[in-house]
Amino acid sequence: MLKVPDHQVAGHQADRGKLGPLVDDSGRFYKPLQSDQRGDTEVAFYESFYSNTEIPGHIRKFFPGFHGTQIIEASDGSGPQPHLVLEDLVAGRMNPSVMDIKIGSRTWYPEASEQYIQKCLGKDRNSTSVSMGFRISGLKVYQNSEAGFWQPEKKVVYSFNADGVRSALRKFVSSNLSLDPDADPDCLYASTVYGHRGGILAQLLQLKEWFEVQTNYHFYSCSLLIFYDTESALDGRAHPKVKLVDFAHVMDGHGVIDHNFLGGLCSVIKFIRDIVDEDNKCAKCEVNLGLKENGFYKSNTEIELDYEAS
């Protein structure tokens, strides 16, 4: 049974009779194959990537699984259409918090048409891409069963400046958005999601190491998807993940590293590292104050017990 994905935050969406991706209940994600060169480029990338024996295993895990192409009924009612069959990255997660970050200060590539270059250049200049090396394309942050998700509108996300991006990266790991989205985010899950040993920061650093040497592919207009299980975050089992998606504009690297992607990736890393460092500083204060233990907040009862014992 195919349905519209629950947790897509950017890109074409298959709601209200439009053409977009679908998912099934076996963990597969069906992405309509764009009929122009983009579809061919994306299929060619997946085929090249998964047949390239030089890609290390710990790098493959950053990419969605690929199961070829398949003709299925398109979401817009236009009949049977070819789709890429990919891994549904958030399958099995109840209420994941998800952020889509388009990497690179430049989303255009020299071989593109002048019209395409100008269109991309305009978007890059009118977003944080040029200034920060990346832009947030969408996000949703789960709060709790009552408040559900905090998900700013597209036009809000698209108008983020540097402060907006910094704030969104803090809100992404915060628990106090449902009360007042303008309040100072508490970054309650910063250590569990970003700073944890296998967390987002560690994964991004692994990816960076590969981008410092790989010269096969240049990833234009490609997104970093980061997500975690908010409901388990307080128990330290947030299962934070980094994945790369959208390869309709991957070009041959011609023996040169993807300096455009790498620069943007390093910029994201710096922002996240700052949040982790800040959190570590706070955590030290809180450990000193007796509010935190083993990286997690104590319950009120525990704090009271400590108080009684003191």
Positions touching a second copy (CB under 8 A) are 105-106, 110, 125, 130-133, 162, 166, 212-213, 215, 254-257, 259-260, 262-264, 266-267, 269-270
Look up residue 188 and give its two tokens: 């309650």
Q: Given the complex with a second copy, which of 210 and 297 has the nearer CB atom? A: 210
Centre a 10 Å sphere on the Cβ of residue 187 and count the other Cβ atoms it contains.
22
What is d(CA 123, CA 149) in angstroms, rounded to the nearest whole number? 28
Please state the closest distance from residue 279 (CB atom) to a second copy, in A.
17
Please state the closest distance from residue 130 (CB atom) to a second copy, in A.
6
Q: Given the complex with a second copy, which of 95 and 137 has the nearer CB atom? A: 137
What is d(CA 297, CA 11) in angstroms, rounded to the nearest whole number? 36
What is d(CA 30, CA 20) in angstroms, rounded to the nearest whole number? 9
C-alpha dihedral sign at 92, 195, 127, 255: negative
Q: Given the complex with a second copy, which of 251 and 303 has the nearer CB atom? A: 251
Q: Given the complex with a second copy, which of 1 and 213 has the nearer CB atom? A: 213
What is d(CA 80, CA 74) in angstroms, rounded to the nearest whole number? 6
Q: What is the CA radius of gyration of the chain?
A: 21
Q: Given the complex with a second copy, which of 139 and 262 has the nearer CB atom? A: 262
Q: Given the complex with a second copy, which of 74 and 244 has the nearer CB atom? A: 244
Q: Given the complex with a second copy, which of 109 and 228 has the nearer CB atom? A: 109
- Angle of CA points 157, 42, 168, to nearest 5°: 15
Please state the closest distance from residue 214 (CB atom) to a second copy, in A.
9
Please state the closest distance from residue 210 (CB atom) to a second copy, in A.
12
Please state the closest distance from residue 25 (CB atom) to a second copy, in A.
41
Please state the closest distance from residue 134 (CB atom) to a second copy, in A.
8
Please state the closest distance from residue 300 (CB atom) to a second copy, in A.
36
Sequence-distant contacts of 19-25: CB under 8 A, at least 24 apart: 19/74, 19/75, 19/76, 19/78, 20/75, 20/76, 21/75, 21/83, 22/72, 22/75, 22/83, 23/88, 23/91, 24/88, 25/1
3-state secondary structure of 163: helix
